[in-house]
Structure 1
Amino acid sequence: MYQDGDFRVSRRQPHGERWVLVTAPLTTHLIHPADSADAAWWRHAVIYQIYPRSWSDASGDGIGDLPGITARLQHLKDLGVDAVWFSPFYTSPQADAGYDVADYRDIDHLFGSLADADAMVAKIHELGLKVIVDLVPNHTSDEHAWFKAALAAGPGSPERDRYMFRDGKGADGSEPPNDWNSVFGGPGWTRVTEADGSLGQWYLHLFDTKQPDLNWDNEEVRAEFEAILRFWLDRGIDGFRVDVAHGLVKEPGLPDYDAELHILDGEIKDGSPRPPMWDQDGVHEVYRAWRKVLDSYGQPDRILCAEAWVRPQERAVRYVRPDEMHQAFNFDFLQTQWRAADLREVIQSSLEAADSVGAPSTWVLSNHDVVRHASRLGLPVGERRPNGIGPDDPQPDRELGLRRARAATTLMLSLPGGAYLYQGEELGLPDSTDMPAKYRQDPTFIRTKGKEIGRDGCRVPIPWEKDAPSFGFGPGAETWLPQPEVYGEYAVDQQVGVEGSTLELYRTVLRLRHERQLGTGGLQEFEGLGDDVVALVNTGQGEDTLVVANLGAEPVALPEGAEVLVASGELTDDGQVPTDTTVWARLA
């Protein structure tokens, strides 16, 4: 392991009116101890997210499907990931692209059948990968059999108690039960028409009107979801990503909450009360029960990963205590500005928080809910992350965004713990930012009348072959969301085997991450390369790996004797690390 004073660096610095060459020793401090070399698979796995609508279409209807996915799984094996996470493919009216589930035990006809799912899972396991599926427990579709039964049964019935039905305020019940709004815009309550034709109760939907919230104080709801877990575990599923994991339990009495709050930006500040719809302590009882179900299946571990937009980190890591979930997405890292100080702080605080409960940290830069980081990082530093980018918005710098995205990913994959990749990021795909309004389908765009652009731009079908119809996505030319013409440049067949391509960078970095066992390594911060540099040493399980990410304006020299293993971009002629570039090096 590297010891203080073992290495020195030479760099130019101003001295009066001239520059001089200064040689200085480098020092480190430990920010994360190494995990055991035989740590459980999920503590260091790289997991690749497939958005089924947009990965590969075998049927030719312009929508991705399970047979299409199965036919292209070798891509993931060649890429070097460890597991695949699927966004929902359950039976659904698709009001929110499958996050409105009508039947948790069947496959939507858009994607195929249960037999197709079984064949896909078998193929994934044959390739030596694991399978994670989405679970949506905060709400169902309004076309779920339970909700239909609730409408038919009427107020006070056991069927209605499965959901969050309440009487309205006012003498005639014409006002919503409280002032909560939907994450997608507009009110969070909808009034129903009772069987006799009269206006009746209201039901809560923190998302779309077609996504009624379940009542997690109801024992039947809890028992049903434990049975759903077993249904998929019995079919060989290796784990679950839990949607809106922080939202299941609401504060008793459903009090008003007049502070502004968004699911993606919900930090509690200045002594404000905890939002009554998010991160209630009761959710942890649910996940302890689920953990017992998964543990009953023995080895290798079946896992739970929380989509929990929770701050501060001390509350977020409560979801990954030893008897609860295995992982939680690190959204603080995703939202960090492209500044060295910010990145150093979030890496250290994330690891410290996870270490405090004995859990691995996870790292993620893109997913199906945010602007792709190849576009996001092409926007001015310091601005708030946009919820989608439209043709009338300031456009990202595509070249700058990709350069920074490659550097950010190379930094991310050097970090110990788990990591998540979103389909197409290995190609360097930008968001579709010029999509006409008529094609947009995100309920956020619809419910806010276009004020919020929403997530369609990151969900466009990915390109496989530059000169094929729909860039090889399927046999037809049409896709459910239109592909930008520029996507042809990013197609898989334009990058395979091409030195310097983003795809080959990902393959190289993932191979080295596994070979050097960085996922279970310890981490030291390397000091002495400048304030605009993130410099780390990952101890792996043997040879140390130096990681240098330069976010400054001037090139940075590597320590004397450092041997470059991989770089996110070209180095200078004299071997220095230019701006917006990350290097891994062997410390000789």
Structure 2
Amino acid sequence: MAAVSSPRPEDWWRDAVIYQVYPRSFVDGDGDGTGDLAGALTALPYLAELGVDAVWFTPWYLSPMVDGGYDVADYRTIDPAFGTLDDAEKLIAAAAELGIRVIVDIVPNHVSDQHAWFRAALEAGPGSLERELFHFRPGRGEDGELPPNDWPSQFAGDTWTRVPDGEWYLHLFTPQQPDLNWSHPAVRREHEDVLRFWFERGVSGVRIDSAALLAKHPDLPDLATPSPDDGPAPDDGPHPYVDRDELHDIYRSWRALADEYGAVFVGEVWLPDAERFARYLRPDELHTAFNFNFLACPWEPARLRRTIDDTLGEHAPVRAPATWVLCNHDVTRTVTRYGRADTGFDFATKAFGTPTDPDLGTRRARAAALLTLALPGSVYLYQGEELGLPEADIPRDRIEDPMHVRSGGTDPGRDGCRVPLPWSADAPHYGFGSHTEPWLPQPDDWAHYAVDRQSADPASMLTLYRTALRLRRATRGFGDGPMTWLPAPDGVLAFARPYGLVCVVNLSGGPVELPPYEQLLLSSAPLDAHGHLPDDTAVWLRT
């Protein structure tokens, strides 16, 4: 069943449910072990039945795949592993016929070292115009043998690599991802042309990777702060490469371009300062930005409530809708995280062998789904979240993520949440592809997570999501709009939405009475024999 929705209003993005596809692991259409656009095309009816409004594809462009496609060699060419530009255009058009919009990923901070610009820069040599598109510098030390500054990497390892002619180039990520110089007008023109290229092919929006990192201090000064004995820091001004004010002019120009096409932006903006974060969401800049504080928040009632309040509070001054997300392609899967003693998320604390209780994690993930979908704003679902997939243990010799490699093998990396999806319980490779073993190994016990098996189970995670998304779309009061906290026992979150809708989430450790209600719309788990709400359970009520 592929339910086509009626056209959404122009501000559809304010309360949309957007499904994230990691193409390598979604559906393998040609059986070579890697997911592709032909496979994604066959899965569009599944997404329509799930009830999503849009689908965001992580990078599908030509890439050496050093960092899962986030090292882009050519934005106007689809990587052969995924298909062709014609395949992408067919996919965008087919999705539109089902009422599903397509969002693509742009990675403006850097390109691949195989990009034509960087290859030309290496050939041209020091002082050339070609090198002005990047951050090439002479080294420090007597013979230039030391890096130009002390900036830390977003991954483990160095941020500078020396080339044979003696100069160094900056890469906040891997050496295969040289940073672009956003003070150069050619860099700005190229990205605006790339945006226009995809808008003209029918995409409805763009997710902006590492959106707060583009602009750098022109002098590339050291980041290290002197010790108190050395006196005050020489420069206590803005960070040299995070959240610089120059970024906002870039995004204003992008917004003007997007408005020509009726397209939208969502920024990957990791910032602790609420006021600085909100600047990116002013009416002439980005439409939305990811809410990472909620994603990283532990499963604790007081902290969840505070995070929700903070999120809505920081969006209110600029009248932007909040986004709610529980996991993505970089983050430990929700079921596994919520089954651990520490239910929050921090890249710095990831480690092999962290114990988890999958049953507890699944129960909490089901409750979190109803909590998230009841909050005002838009929601992002990462592929497999609707199946309740846990984080997979990848054999160390099969891990590809550079976060693992550059840590010297101590960081488990992100591949555990990127394992190909199970579609059919009894098919080879669980129906992901017909022939070759998938690029990442699937666990041996994943048959019960398969789409076909969950579709036939009224108590499955997939059925819960399908039901919740159908109700969210059909019931007045969900989506964008006001919410009000209600009185509730300790450890219980209860809030009202318009038209008599109420969401109650119990994290108290024991069963609690529900407030008076006329109708129970949906529950993440059955009520107990007394009609009370069990621990780690959420309900939607009509009062």
Residue of 242, 245, 248 corresponding to 1:284: 248
Q: Secondary structure of 2:486's match?
A: strand
Out of 452, 455, 459, the position equivalent to 1:493 is: 452
Contact 1:371 1:386 in 2 (8 A): no
CA distance in 1, matches of 2:348, 2:50: 29
Hey, what's the Cα distance between the residues in 2 that align with 1:460 and 1:511? Answer: 27
Q: 1: CA distance between counterparts of 2:518 and 2:295?
A: 29
Amino acid paired to 2:102: V
Cα distance in structure 2, aligned partners of 1:117 and 1:388 = 38
Higher share in strand:
1
- C-alpha displacement of 1:382: 6.1
1: distance between equivalents of 2:225 and 2:491?
36
Task: Tell me which residue corresponds to 1:322.
Answer: 283
1:178-193 equivalence runs, <5 A = 178-193=149-164
In the alignment, is the contact (CA less than 8 A) between 2:106 and 2:206 conserved in 1?
A: yes
Partner Cα separation in structure 2 for residue 526 and residue 203 of structure 1: 55
Letter aligned with residue 249 of structure 2: E
Among 119, 122, 127, the alignment partner of 2:90 is 119
Deviation at 1:258, TM superposition (A): 2.7
Deviates more, 1:437-446 or 1:308-317: 308-317
Q: Which residue of 2 aligns with 1:567?
A: 523
Deviation at residue 272 of structure 1 after TM alignment: 7.6
- Identify which of 486, 494, 499 aligns with 1:526: 486
Quick one: which amino acid aligns to residue 448 of structure 1? S
Supply the RMSD in Å over aligned alpha carbons: 1.7
> Which secondary structure state, in structure 2, belongs to the residue aligned with residue 519 of structure 1?
coil
Residues 200-227 of structure 1: per-residue CA shift (max 9 Å, x gap): 1100000011000000000000000000
* Counterpart AA for 2:70: Y
Cα deviations by residue, 1:394-429 (Å, 9 ceiling, x for unpaired): 221111111111111110000111110000000000
Which of 430, 435, 442 is matched with 2:401 structurally?
A: 442
Report the Cα distance in structure 2 between the residues aligned to 1:421 and 1:273, rounded to whole angstroms. Answer: 38
Give the equivalent residue in structure 1 for 2:364: 404
Change (3 A) 1:48 1:382: closer
Alignment correspondent of 2:3: none
Equivalent residue in structure 1 for 2:505, among 521, 544, 549: 549
Matches within 5 A, 1:95-134: 95-134=66-105
Listed as ranges, the matches of 1:156-555 within 5 Å are 156-194=127-165, 200-258=166-224, 274-297=238-261, 301-381=262-342, 385=346, 392-432=352-392, 434-517=393-476, 518-527=478-487, 529-539=488-498, 543-555=499-511
- Tell me how far 1:580 sits from its aligned partner: 0.5
**Shift, 1:515, TM fit:** 1.3
Structure 2 contact 297–304 (Cα < 8 Å) conserved: yes
Match of 1:23 in 2: none
Instruction: Give the AA of the match of 2:474.
Output: E
Q: Distance in 2 between matches of 1:188 and 1:170?
A: 17
* Conserved 8 A contact 2:517-2:541: no
Counterpart code for 1:536: F
The 3 A distance-change label for structure 1 pair 340 and 471 is: same
Matched AA of 2:453? Q
**C-alpha distance in 2, partners of 1:70/1:93?**
24
Supply the distance in 2 between the matched residues of 1:95 and 1:53 (Cα, whole angstroms): 13
Query: TM-score if structure 2 supplies the norm length?
Result: 0.94
CA contact (8 A) 2:321 2:480 kept: no
SS in 2 for 1:150: helix
The residue identity in structure 2 corresponding to 1:341 is: A
Greater relative contact order, per chain length (Cα 8 Å cut-off, separation 6+): 1
TM-score, normalised on structure 1? 0.87
Which structure 1 residue ranges, 4+ long, deviate > 3 Å from structure 2? 271-275, 381-390
- Shift in Å at residue 387 of structure 1? 6.2
- Write the letter of the residue equivalent to 1:357: V
Q: Report SS of the residue matched to 1:577.
A: coil
Q: 3-state SS of the aligned residue for 2:318?
A: coil
Say if 1:382 and 1:512 are closer, same or farther in 2 by CA, change over 3 A: closer
Aligned pair in 2 of structure 1 residues 278, 554: CA closer, same or farther (>3 Å)? same
Q: CA deviation at 1:181?
A: 2.2
What CA distance in whole angstroms lies between the structure 1 residues aligned with 2:41 and 2:219? 47
Distance in 1 of aligned mates of 2:455 and 2:490: 36
| Number of aligned residue pairs | 527
* Deviation, structure 1 residue 544: 1.8
Any unmatched runs of 5+ in structure 2? 1-7, 227-234
Secondary structure in structure 1 of the residue aligned to 2:163: strand
Query: Could you tell me how far apart the structure 1 residues matched to 2:28 and 2:338 are?
Result: 30
User: What letter matches 2:292 in structure 1?
Assistant: F
CA contact (8 A) 2:17 2:378 kept: yes
- In 1, the alpha carbon distance for the partners of 2:180 and 2:125 equals 16
Aligned residues: percent identity?
50
Asked if structure 2 preserves the Cα contact closer than 8 Å seen for 1:333 and 1:346, the reply is yes
How far apart are the structure 2 equivalents of 1:544 and 1:42? 24
Tell me the amino acid that sits aligned with residue 77 of structure 1.
A
1:388–1:128 distance in 2 versus 1, CA, 3 Å:
farther
SS of equivalent to 2:416: helix
TM superposition shift of 1:128: 0.6
Letter of the structure 1 residue corresponding to residue 277 of structure 2: A
How far off is 1:311 after superposition? 1.4
Question: Gapped runs of 5+ residues in structure 1?
Answer: 1-36, 195-199, 261-270
Tell me, yes or no, if the aligned pair for 2:332 and 2:345 is still in contact at 8 Å: no
CA distance in 2, matches of 1:454, 1:468: 29
Residue type at the aligned position of 1:237:
V
SS at match of 1:84: strand
* 2:124/2:131 contact within 8 Å kept: yes
Kept in 2: contact 1:242–1:304 (CA 8 A): yes
Alpha carbons 2:337, 2:344 under 8 Å: kept: no
Query: In the superposition, relative to structure 1, how do residues 576 and 465 fare at CA in structure 2: closer, same or farther (>3 Å)?
Result: same
Partners of 2:85 and 2:10 in 1: how far apart? 33
Q: CA deviation at 1:157?
A: 1.1
Q: Give, in whole Å, the separation in 1 of the partners of 2:39 and 2:441.
A: 18
Paired with 1:513 and 1:87, the residues of 2 have a C-alpha distance of 26
1:176 shift after superposition? 0.2
Instruction: Give the deviation of 1:385 after TM superposition.
Output: 3.4
Deviation at 1:335, TM superposition (A): 0.7
* Preserved CA contact (<8 Å) 2:296 2:344: no
